[in-house]
Amino acid sequence: MKKQSLRISASTIDPGLLSLPWSTPLGSWPSEHIVSLPKGLSRHLVRFADLSGRVVAVKETTEEMAQREYEMLGRLAGHDVPCVSRVAVIAGRTDAAGKALPAALVTSHLRFSMPYRALFTQVLRPDTADRLVDALALLLVRLHNVGFYWGDVSLSNTLFRRDAGAFAAYLVDAETGELHEEGLTDGQRSYDLDLARTNIAGEIMDLAAGGRLERGVDALTIADGIVSSYRSLWTALTDEESFGVDETWRITERVQKLNTLGFDIDEMSMETTPDGTSVRIQPKVVDAGHHQRRLIRLTGLDVEENQARRLLNDLDEFRVRSRKPLGDEEIYAHEWLTRAFEPVVRAIPYELRAKLEPAEVYHQVLEHRWYLSQAQGRSVPLAEVLTSYINDVLRHRRDEATIMGPPTETMGLPVVTGSVEVSPRPPPSTGATSSRAR
């Protein structure tokens, strides 16, 4: 049998791609190329590999499906939607005997991300489940807002990153997705939402069957949560609102409400009634990331939305506490960055820096300081807070930059040790919000 030529499609070619064993079926790749990480359930074989010192996910599929998903991930990235980054499509694979092998889609591993099963060690707590569902609901709203029909919504097809007491969700599998530039119909959105509810219920029931769900937790109640979260968010983003011409302050109120939810307005459609007694408005939401964009503009820090909100709250408090006259916001942001944020990050011992992202560490230090101060009835100095946080909290967490399992095993279920997911009680200044209508 004639051996085909290897074909690589990539926006940026990494020479390391040529060193991976493409002539070997993915399931038989030698251990020196494999990085063992927990992954979600998948209809295709997926393994993690080392590519030029970074971790990538390799999925075997058909060439047509690999190319389609590669292009879809690129289009979603253009819409600034949270999803994994595409790396390459590998086609024309053959083994040593010239037998054709499946094509492969290569995507970047999202650092500090976890499949939902890796977010707990023994049992899934109901509050953790609620936060996962809220994060997935927000992701689904963001996808629908840009006209993306997922067609396979589930916790398994999502990665989660910690986000200041909440979670941020990222799309992993775009194989079944369709991008409609003209927007989605109500029927398409409803189908995705119904599918999400069904899949989540099945995934939670699977955990219950394996004894990994806290007693008294109802899988259907958790699954129903995505419906209420999604509808609450979608209504806030898209509903038309009417008010009297003497209540124009409600325009500002609507914008501020959307900003609080993390969304920015692209434009506002306003129309007065024929008799001139009332005004109707309907916002066009550009996307989530309101606080992220403000923090990047002021400090250059690129973090999750709730983390950005928490850091901005601290920056604003820093500005109020300053004895200097209030002036340019950028000046205070630079002073906060160099005098507050960076010293905390630098204080973390090198061997512990893979535990959590810097922004999450800073958020947790602020939270830890609040709890210590409440418990001791005094304002605890930052140096004392850092020592307590590092020794009593951070050292006992698992590393989340890449959560490792057995060195040569390809895992469908995660093997995790060390930390137990607890329900945070954020201090009043966190500003963290949930979209769940409870």
Q: Is the pLDDT of residue 326 over 60?
A: no
- Between residues 331 and 159, the one the model is more confident about: 159
Q: Is the pLDDT of residue 418 over 60?
A: no
Backbone CA torsion sign across 183, 187, 190, 192: negative
Structural domains of the chain, ranges and CATH numbers in brackets: 7-108 (3.30.200), 113-238 (1.10.510.10), 241-288 (no CATH)
Per-residue model confidence (pLDDT) at position 2: 55
Mean pLDDT of 183-210: 92
Per-residue model confidence (pLDDT) at position 150: 96
Highest mean pLDDT among 80-89, 277-286, 290-299, 301-310 belongs to 80-89
> How far, CA to CA in Å, does 163 sit from each of 86, 90, 169, 375, 431?
23, 34, 10, 25, 12
CA 91, CA 111: separation in Å to the nearest integer? Answer: 27
- Between residues 205 and 323, the one the model is more confident about: 205
- Between residues 88 and 435, the one the model is more confident about: 88
Q: How high is the mean pLDDT of the chain?
A: 81
CA 171, CA 179: separation in Å to the nearest integer? Answer: 14
- Between residues 123 and 345, the one the model is more confident about: 345
Mean pLDDT of 391-410: 63
Per-residue model confidence (pLDDT) at position 159: 92
User: 49 and 58 in contact (C-beta within 8 Å)?
Assistant: yes
**Among 224-238, 257-271, 304-318, which is the least confidently predicted range?**
257-271
Per-residue model confidence (pLDDT) at position 427: 45
Q: What is the DSSP string of 224-256?
A: HHHHHHHHHHHHHHH--EEEETT-THHHHHHHH
Torsion of CA 295, 359, 421, 375, to 10 degrees: -100
User: 61 and 102 in contact (C-beta within 8 Å)?
Assistant: yes
Q: Which residues are within 8 A (CB) of 199 and not within 5 positions of it... i.e. 6 or more apart? A: 153, 154, 155, 156
User: 242 and 280 in contact (C-beta within 8 Å)?
Assistant: yes
Instruction: Find the DSSP H helices in 52-176.
Output: 63-78, 126-145
CA 284, CA 257: separation in Å to the nearest integer? Answer: 14
Per-residue model confidence (pLDDT) at position 406: 34
Instruction: Find the DSSP H helices in 125-177.
Output: 126-145
pLDDT (tens digit per residue) in 214-241: 777 788 999 999 999 999 888 888 877 7
Per-residue model confidence (pLDDT) at position 226: 94
CA 149, CA 136: separation in Å to the nearest integer? Answer: 14
Backbone φ and ψ of 163, nearest 5°: -145, 75
- Between residues 18 and 324, the one the model is more confident about: 18
Mean pLDDT of 311-317: 85
Mean pLDDT of 41-53: 83
Q: Is the pLDDT of residue 425 over 80?
A: no
**Among 98-107, 218-227, 418-427, which is the least confidently predicted range?**
418-427
Per-residue model confidence (pLDDT) at position 435: 42
Per-residue model confidence (pLDDT) at position 409: 33
Highest mean pLDDT among 65-69, 210-214, 229-233, 420-424 belongs to 65-69
Nearest by Cα to 132 from 211, 225, 48, 24: 225
Q: Is the pLDDT of residue 422 over 70?
A: no
